[in-house]
Amino acid sequence: MRHVISVVGSEAQRAATLPDVRLRNDESLRRSIWFACGNQEKPGELLDDTRSMALRLLRAPLLAYQFYLLVQNTKLWSGKRPLIIIRGCSLSSRVAAYAARWGGGDVVMPRVSDKPILEPTRYLLLPDGSLELRDG
């Protein structure tokens, strides 16, 4: 079983549908969502929706550490590298991408031609839900 963690950093991402992921050999998936805020059970103001840039920069290291621990513990629990779905290049996406790489996860970003791909991205998510190993 492979674990898929979708990152939600803004209300717009929260309202949007989550991308569908299909693995080869019909491997089963366990899905979860990580909200870029302090309380995962009652998500309040998400990191990308915070108005104050100073407050964003103060919250980012703590959120990065929390996400790092989540990815690392998921990897230890499941025995496989979790897939981390990020969308866009916002602050929450960057924090999650780097924390996921440090924690041992594989960063997945949907293939969109007009958006730059974050450096820690390992896989590209194709429109049909399959994964493609990123070149470079």
Q: Domain residues of the chain, as ranges?
A: 2-133
Residue with more model confidence, 5 or 115: 5
* Mean pLDDT score across all residues of the chain: 91
pLDDT tens sequence across 95-133: 999 999 999 999 999 987 677 888 899 999 998 889 999
Cα(first)–Cα(last) distance of the chain, in Å? 27
pLDDT at 136 over 70: no
Instruction: Report d(CA 29, CA 43) in Å as an integer.
Output: 24
* pTM (two decimals): 0.91
